Amino acid sequence: MTFSVKLTKFDDTKKIAVIKEIRNLVPGLNLVQAKKFVETAPVVVKEDMGKAEAEEMKKALEKTT
């Protein structure tokens, strides 16, 4: 069984923190790409991962949103 993590919404006052976290979670994104990625929410952050990885990613995003 695989899992996906989706960024559905975030507090606009925490946008910078969310962008930074997305850059940590999605390898290869530069600052501009991460900003555009976050602004397109709801968006799938990552697909086809194990439950443990999905839970870690979810917790990391919940801290910033």
pLDDT for the residue 65: 82
Region class of 11: left (phi > 0), else alpha (psi between -120 and 50), else beta: beta
By residue range, what is the domain housing residue 50? 3-64
pTM beyond cutoff 0.85: yes
**Total domains present in the chain:** 1
Region class of 28: left (phi > 0), else alpha (psi between -120 and 50), else beta: left
> Which residue is it, tokens 């923190």?
17
SS3 content of the chain, % helix, strand, coil (to 5): 55, 20, 25
CATH of the domain at 34: 3.30.1390.10
* Tens digit of pLDDT at every position of the chain (65 positions): 999 999 999 999 999 999 999 999 999 999 999 999 999 999 999 999 999 999 999 999 999 98
pLDDT for the residue 52: 98
